[in-house]
Amino acid sequence: MKTNPGRFFEDYTLGEVIAHAVPRTLAEGERALYHALYPARHALYSSDAFAADCGLEGSPLDDLIVFHTVFGKTVPDISLNAIANLGYGDGRWLGAVYPGDTLRAQSQVIGLKQNSNGQSGVVYVRTQGLNQRDEVVLDYVRWVMVRKNRDTPAPQTVIPDLPDVVTPDRLVIPAGLDFSDYDFALAGERHRWSDYAIGEQIDHIDGVTMEEAEHMLATRLWQNTAKVHFDATHREDGRRLIYGGHIISTARALSFNGLANAQMMVALNAGAHANPCFAGDTLRAWSQVLDKVETSAPGVGAIRLRLVAYKHGAKPFALREKDGKYDPSVLLELDYWALIPL
């Protein structure tokens, strides 16, 4: 058979490195589409002049463009036969990506655990995105539940020891970043690092109603090929599941309203897609401040945020039910570090 059947649980070997296919040059077109697909307004990613005033060579591509592009490359090898995308962790952006850069991706299998039913298992991979100079620009761990296809013996269980959070000493600040002369008026809000308190919750107020054409355009743009997003005949209920990354980008863009100065994502501590989302749902978001640290870069602080996307109808700030399960309205919980002016 010439087509890609995807891999099954028994096809992964601990330690193997998978080079993902189809490198991608990203340019001004992807930036414009990102602004059309999401209500993105962080000034550093909107204006070359603003970014230059912050010490960068120009406006980088949104950190989530990098994330989605790298993630999309992994789908044919990692999650084509996935039952569930279970989580993300220990992720870091290691260098800015500019229009004209070309990205490729590779993943190493760092953990395997067959489920007790023998029908599936969990695969842990550490994925890296590299640019045309072979510099690693993104590094994160993802784990997915994958179907078994053959009745093979279970591999030895190895569960990687992942940190709950990327410790501040491991955050990588883009070279040259300087928020000393940061223009709060141009950025859109006056709130700086010192204005946020640990534990503080922010309701981002705005909502976006999901459309089939929009989530499909977005998911395709990142060359993500998972059938369930595009083919209405794939699920029994005839619905197309919205790519989790579309939820991440929508929620992160909505978080501008209240966190306009949390400019750059530098670490992905943890992330989970709590419930499925479909066209017609209206998505809202709230954030909570989990931690704050200063950094060595001039004027640059780091803020650790919990970003939660939820469906209209619920109230903000709900997260889990008493039994620990996610509230049925919650679509996404994302724990990340962002850079913000002191």
Return the residues of window 138-177 that contact a second copy according to CB under 8 A.
Answer: none
In the list 11, 14, 33, 327, the residue contacting a second copy (rule: CB under 8 A) is 33
Binds a second copy by CB under 8 A, chosen from 113, 148, 191, 292:
191
Distance CA 218, CA 135 (A): 26
Q: What is the dihedral of CA 306, 105, 66, 281, to 10 degrees?
A: -60
- Chosen residue from 220, 275, 276, 291 binding a second copy by CB under 8 A: 220
Of the pair 10, 214, the CB lying nearest a second copy is at 214
Shortest separation between residue 23's beta carbon and a second copy, angstroms: 4
CA separation for the pair 221, 111 (Å, rounded): 30
24 binds a second copy (CB under 8 A): yes
- CB of 164: closest distance to a second copy in angstroms? 26
- Contact call for residues 305 and 298 (beta carbons, < 8 A): no
Q: Which of 146, 171, 177, 202 binds a second copy (CB under 8 A)?
A: 202
Binding mask 45-84 for a second copy (x = CB under 8 A): -xxxxx--------x----------------x--------
**Taking CB under 8 A as the rule, does residue 233 contact a second copy?**
yes
The residues near 253 (Cβ < 8 Å, ≥ 6 apart) are: 38, 39, 40, 41
**Strand pairing category for 102-114 and 120-130:** antiparallel
Closest Cα to residue 265, out of 319, 307, 328? 307
**Dihedral (CA of 209, 279, 63, 164) sign:** positive
Residue 35 binds to a second copy (criterion: CB under 8 A): yes
- The site that binds a second copy (CB under 8 A) totals a number of residues, namely 75
Report if residue 318 touches a second copy, rule: CB under 8 A.
no
Task: Round to whole Å and give the CA distance between 131 and 95.
Answer: 9
| Piece of the chain touching a second copy by CB under 8 A; list 135-143, 168-176, 219-227, 299-307 | 219-227
- Please state, in angstroms and as integers, the Cα–Cα distance from residue 30 to each residue in 49, 60, 143, 326, following that order: 19, 12, 27, 33
x/- track of binding to a second copy for residues 252-291 (CB under 8 A): -----xxxx---------------------x---------
